Amino acid sequence: MSGLNNGQGLSKTQDARPRYTGERLLRERPKIYRQVVRLLGEGCSANKICKWCHVTRETVRAVESREAAEISARKKSIVGILSNVAELGAARMEETIGKASLRDATIGTGGGYGQGARVDGSNVEHQHRKHPDAFG
């Protein structure tokens, strides 16, 4: 009997260990497959994806290696969008900061710093994500 693991077909390699490919997940649960790809592209951790999508880490790794080009392109796209939004927000903040109260200026400066750090990849603050939409 061939071993099955959470929607994941197993292939045997020379050393008789299963090799996860993601083919079965794509064939039998395509919405979950696409959700895993989307979450990987958004930078979610494998552990969170496993919990949210009810798949194993091996399945997530297989999907990640199978869709590496698409995930990388999605990450670049998101970083580009966030960079544009941050640039527009910074320009707007620069225009209005002189008219703001001390409290508002402090909040605006802190928010701008946090967004800028997130865009360039530094870890300023820990973000808590809620469970994503089922298949959104």
CATH of domain 1-66: 1.10.10
Res 129: pLDDT: 53
pLDDT, tens only, 59-74: 999 999 888 888 888 8
For the chain, what's the residue count? Answer: 136
Res 82: pLDDT: 83
Q: Are 45 and 58 in contact (CB under 8 A)?
A: no
Structure token pair of residue 99:
């008219």
Reported as a pLDDT band with limits 50, 70 and 90, residue 126 is: very low
Tell me the average pLDDT across 47-62: 93
Res 4: pLDDT: 53
1-15, 39-53, 86-100: segment of lowest average pLDDT: 1-15
pTM: 0.51
Q: Is the pLDDT of residue 46 over 60?
A: yes
